[in-house]
Amino acid sequence: MSDSTSNGEKRILIIDDDADIMLVLASVVEDAGYQVSTIDGGNYLEQIDAGALPDLILLDMLLSGQDGRQIARRLKEQATTRRIPIVMLSAHPDAQREALEAGADAFLAKPFDLDALLATIAAYLG
């Protein structure tokens, strides 16, 4: 992971249980100049470092053992994380309504266009 970025050290957290997707996302986002951290399993919420909160979260909707919608709801309920934009990702294109109802700020259906992903990130991070 790169520590120097052209985007003012903006940090993006990727939460996905598919290692291949996470690798592609991390590579694309890092190449765009963002700092990237990843969480790929276990209790996702407990792994979010309160001392280094991300500026944006890319969150898969269906995770092994947990539901991304529940994670989004919990993040939006907590004072320390409620203002962090969440972009929810899902292979189910009709899941947009559920993602937004769960508190996601944006939704991208997999497979998504990488330019659309970067444009969505830029829209929230300026």
Q: What is the pLDDT of residue 8?
A: 66
Structure pTM?
0.89
Domain of residue 113, residue span: 11-125
Residue 4 CB-half CA count within 13 A: 0
> How many structural domains comprise the chain?
1
CATH of the domain at 22: 3.40.50.2300
Q: Examine residue 41 and state whether it is found in any structural domain, yes or no.
A: yes
Contact 32, 118 (CB under 8 A): yes
Name the β-bridge partners of 11.
Answer: 35
Q: Examine residue 119 and state whether it is found in any structural domain, yes or no.
A: yes
Q: Examine residue 2 and state whether it is found in any structural domain, yes or no.
A: no
Regions of the chain with pLDDT less than 70: 1-8, 42
Q: What is the pLDDT of residue 31?
A: 96
Q: Examine residue 4 and state whether it is found in any structural domain, yes or no.
A: no
Q: Examine residue 90 and state whether it is found in any structural domain, yes or no.
A: yes
Residue type at position 68: G
Q: Examine residue 3 and state whether it is found in any structural domain, yes or no.
A: no
Q: Examine residue 1 and state whether it is found in any structural domain, yes or no.
A: no
Residue type at position 113: D
Q: What is the pLDDT of residue 3?
A: 41
